[in-house]
Structure 1
Amino acid sequence: MSSAPVPAPRPSPAEDAAGQSAAETLKDDFAWSLSVILRAYLRSVEESLNDIPGGPRGYQVIASASQNLAANQGVMASQLGIDRTVLTYLIDDLEAAGLVTRQPDPADRRSRRVVATEAGQALWQDRRNALAHAEAHILSTLGNEESTFKELLKRVAVYADRGDPLQNTCQAVESVESACQAVEGVKDACQAVESLEKDDDRRLGVKRRSPRRD
């Protein structure tokens, strides 16, 4: 597969004039600028990603798994901004395609890490080069300002990601789940101790007094 970008068809004079008019009118519209850039980028990479289960989202999962960026599926969902239920089905499809696999986390056997297979690693490297070419094509208008633009964009993205209420909520839920699991573990241990004490009492014929309630 060639990684060279497909040149976009040139618009007619009327379309070009209309586009320039819209751009001039909306030049200070932040949302419009972002949506235009995103649409152009997705059009450029569509051919490179449409055969991957989940398309661009599937590629993001493979990229994360190839670089070991997420300790478990919950962290990956927060990092990629994908609903945890949706991510589960997406990983199922990628696993069926032989691109990723789930492995127990050595630090926590209850947690599952998503790891790229050799085929997944090779696909990530191949499509990564194609996406870099598409990115360079879109940013070519910036010339020497490209690196400055990308640095500023990264700074905004990191700031926005920290303030993402969905991610904060997911992290809070994970913390609560971990605390609940710890409490359950303590409860199970206490019940086991109580059971042993009762067994000992029965063997020794000891009758425990119930705690007094005032």
Structure 2
Amino acid sequence: MVTTPEHVATDIGWALFATVRRYRHLTDELLADLPGGPRGYQVLMGAQQGGPSSQLALAQYLGLDRTVMTYLLDDLESAGLVERRPDPADRRVRRVELTEQGVTALCAKRQRLKCVEATLLAPLEPEQRETLRKLLEVLATCDEPGSGAG
């Protein structure tokens, strides 16, 4: 099925789906060597950015089932990219932390993803790219639907 201007003009969901589908097409091969592929990348990003530090909180933040998260972290840990350490405040809680190897791998992936991003955004003028980034930041960081300005 082809995305047409009519699809995009009448349905933001369709436009987002088509854009994400294209992004995934461009990134799947790039992320294939990471345990978990795109999900593994998201876990590394979440752990690196100082977001939720516990295994359960990170799973909830990323929208992953906790069992899926356990297997994914097992694979990332076996690859030497993350470590699960007991939280000093509550030893029942496992904190997810990047290893040096994980930091290196994440930095390399981020650099290559910048090239993919440039390809994806090539049809836009520089000002449009910046506007899109700012708008996506607003949408991605609002706490709940309808909480943004408007």
1:78 partnered with 2:60: yes
Partner of 2:4: 23
- Equivalent of 1:137 in 114, 119, 126: 119
1:154 partnered with 2:137: yes
1:108-127: per-residue Cα shift (whole Å, max 9, x none)? Answer: 22211011111111100000
Partner of 1:123: 105
Residue pair 1:104, 1:113 contacting (<8 A) in 2 also: yes
List 4+ stretches of structure 1 deviating above 3 A.
none
1:38-75: per-residue Cα shift (whole Å, max 9, x none)? Answer: 11111111121001111000111112223332220121
1:135-193: per-residue Cα shift (whole Å, max 9, x none)? Answer: 1221122211111111112212223x535xxxxxxxxxxxxxxxxxxxxxxxxxxxxxx
Q: Which amino acid aligns with 1:111?
A: V
Structure having the higher Rg = 1
Residue pair 1:66, 1:120 contacting (<8 A) in 2 also: no
Partner of 1:57: 39
Residue pair 1:100, 1:120 contacting (<8 A) in 2 also: yes
Q: How does 1:187-206 map to 2 (within 5 A)?
A: none
Partner of 1:205: none
Give how far 1:95 is off: 0.9
Residue pair 2:47, 2:97 contacting (<8 A) in 1 also: yes
State the TM-score, normalized to the length of structure 1: 0.62
Q: Which amino acid aligns with 2:111?
A: N
State the TM-score, normalized to the length of structure 2: 0.86
Q: What residue ranges of structure 1 are gaps of 5+ in the alignment?
A: 1-17, 164-214
132-141 vs 47-56, greater mean Cα deviation: 132-141
SS of the counterpart of 2:97? strand
SS of the counterpart of 1:162? coil
C-alpha RMSD over aligned residues: 1.7
Number of residues paired by the alignment? Answer: 143
**More helix as a share of residues:** 1
CA distance in structure 2 between the aligned counterparts of 1:149 and 1:25, rounded to whole angstroms = 20
Residue pair 1:99, 1:116 contacting (<8 A) in 2 also: yes
CA distance in structure 1 between the aligned counterparts of 2:46 and 2:141, rounded to whole angstroms = 17
Residues 91/45 of structure 1: CA separation in 2 closer, same or farther (3 Å cut) = same
Residue pair 2:47, 2:53 contacting (<8 A) in 1 also: no
Q: What residue ranges of structure 2 are gaps of 5+ in the alignment?
A: 146-150
Percent identity over paired residues? 44
